Amino acid sequence: RVAYVNGRYVPHREARVHVEDRGYQFADAVYEVIGVVNGRFLDEEPHLDRLDRSLKELRIAWPIARGALKLVLRETVRRNRVRNGLVYFQVSRGVARRDFGFPKRVRPSLVVTARATPPVSADPGPGVAVITVPDIRWKRVDIKTTGLLGGALGKQKAREQGAYEAWQVDNDGLVTEGTSSNAWIVTSAGELVTRPIGHEILAGITRQTVKKVAADLQLAVVERPFSVAEALAAREAFMTSATSFVTPIVRIDGKPVGDGRPGDVARRLRAEYLRAVS
C-alpha cells in the first residue's frame, strides 16, 4: 500500500507526520471519505465542497489546489489498485510549536490513503442493529474534524453490545445522528424523516444524494428531529454514509424496528442510490 504525504507517495507503513502536527495535538484537522465503486468516485464534488467549508470554518488554507487534490486522490487510488473501497484525505493546520492559538506561518499537512473493500451489493443483507447513546460530542460537529472521540466511544460501545452503529441522542431525547452516519426513519405514514442540517449533525453527502433519490422515487422527505421512541414505532429505519451507502436498521437497543427485517423503502433507496452514483 501507498500513502500520499505532503507531496510524496510513500510506502503506507512509512507514512508519517511530525509529532507536533496540530492534527495530532488538537485534532486541528479536517477530513473527507469518498466511496469508490467500480473505479468511480461517489459524489466527489460535494465532498470537495464540504472540505472547502470545513477548511473555511477553521481558517485552514487549501494545502494544494482543488484540481491538484483531485489528481492526487486518483493517483492514490490507482497506486493502491482500489476498484472498490474508499479514499481518505485529511488536512491539518500543520506543524508548529504547541500553542492553543493559531501559529503565524504554517503550511497545512495533507495526507491521502486509499483502501479496498469488498464490492458493494444492492442487496442490503439482513440489516444492522444500533444502540442509543447520549451525544457527548462538541457543539460544531457540522465541521468534519478529526476530533472524533465522542463518536469513537459510542461506536466501541455498540461493538461491545454486538451492534453496528450507535445513534447519538441529544438532551431533549432526539436522535442527532450515528457516530459515522446520518439517521433516518420511515413513519407509518410512509414519510422519510431525518434531522435537519445544523451544528448538531454532519451534513452527510450520502444524506443529500439520498434526499434527491427519494424525490425521484416520489417519496416524501421531512427534515425534523425524531425521538428514539418514534424510531421504535417507525415502519423502517436506516442509516446513510459514504461507507455504508443506505443500510437498513432492524434493531434499536435490542428491540425490532417494524418486522425486524430490512424495509422496502430502505431497499429501494439503496438500490436506486447505487444506480444513481455508480
Q: Which residue has the cell 442509516?
A: 239
Please list, in sequence order, all residues whose beta carbon lies within 8 angstroms of the beta carbon of residue 70, skipping any fewer than 6 positions away: 44, 48
For the bound state, the minimum distance from the C-beta of residue 125 to ligand PDD, rounded and expressed in Å, comes to: 19
In angstroms, the CA 252 to CA 158 distance is 11
Considering only 51, 73, 166, 205, the residue that binds ligand PDD (CB under 6 A) is 205
Q: Applying CB under 6 A, which part among 67-75, 223-231, 239-247, 257-265 lies near ligand PDD?
A: 239-247
Is residue 240 a contact point for ligand PDD (CB under 6 A)? yes
Spot the catalytic one: 144, 155, 211, 212: 144
109-to-18, 94, 106, 134, 146 alpha-carbon distances in Å: 10, 5, 9, 33, 13
Is residue 180 a contact point for ligand PDD (CB under 6 A)? yes
Q: Applying CB under 6 A, which part among 103-111, 198-206, 256-264, 270-278 lies near ligand PDD?
A: 198-206
3-class DSSP state of 227:
strand
Q: Which of residues 149-168 bind ligand PDD (CB under 6 A)?
A: 151
Q: How many helices (H) and strands (E) does the chain have?
A: 7, 15
For the bound state, the minimum distance from the C-beta of residue 206 to ligand PDD, rounded and expressed in Å, comes to: 3
Is residue 181 a contact point for ligand PDD (CB under 6 A)? yes
Is residue 210 a contact point for ligand PDD (CB under 6 A)? no
Considering only 48, 242, 250, 257, the residue that binds ligand PDD (CB under 6 A) is 242
Is 56 catalytic? The answer is no
Please list, in sequence order, all residues whose beta carbon lies within 8 angstroms of the beta carbon of residue 265, skipping any fewer than 6 positions away: 186, 190, 192, 219, 235, 236, 238
Q: Which of residues 3-42 bind ligand PDD (CB under 6 A)?
A: 33
Alpha-carbon dihedral angle through residues 89, 93, 95, 98, given to the nearest 10 degrees = -130
Residues in contact with ligand PDD by CB under 6 A are 33, 151, 177, 180-182, 202, 204-207, 240-243
Q: Which residues are annotated as catalytic?
A: 144
